[in-house]
Amino acid sequence: MQAITDNVFRALADPTRRAIFERLARDGEQTVHALTYRAGVSQPAVSKHLGVLKRARLVRFRHEGRETHYSAQPQALAPLAEWMSMYGAFWRDKFDRLENLLNSKTF
Partner 1 sequence: MTATVPKCTLVIEREMPHPPEKIWRALTESSLIDEWLMKNDFKLAVGHRFQFRATPVPNWSGVIDCEVLVVEPNSRLAYSWGTLRMGTVVTWTLTPTPGGTHFRMEQSGFPSEDGPNYKGAKYGWRNSIDNLERLIGGMN
Q: Is the dihedral of CA 64, 57, 28, 37 positive or negative?
A: negative
Q: Which of 33, 38, 43, 83 binds partner 1 (CB under 8 A)?
A: 83
Q: Are strands 59-64 and 30-31 parallel, antiparallel or unpaired?
A: unpaired
Spatial CB neighbours of 28, under 8 Å, sequence gap ≥ 6: 71
Ramachandran region, residue 61 (left: φ > 0; alpha: ψ -120 to 50; beta: rest): beta
By the rule CB under 8 A, 12 interacts with partner 1: yes
CB 15 → partner 1: shortest distance, Å? Answer: 8
Nearer to partner 1, 66 or 73 (CB): 73
By the rule CB under 8 A, 32 interacts with partner 1: no
Q: Are strands 67-72 and 59-64 parallel, antiparallel or unpaired?
A: antiparallel
The residue count for binding partner 1 (CB under 8 A) is 39
By the rule CB under 8 A, 102 interacts with partner 1: yes
One-letter amino acid of 92: R
Q: Where do contacts with partner 1 occur on this chain (CB under 8 A)?
A: 2, 5-6, 8-10, 12-13, 18, 21-22, 25-26, 72, 74, 77, 79-84, 86-95, 97-102, 107
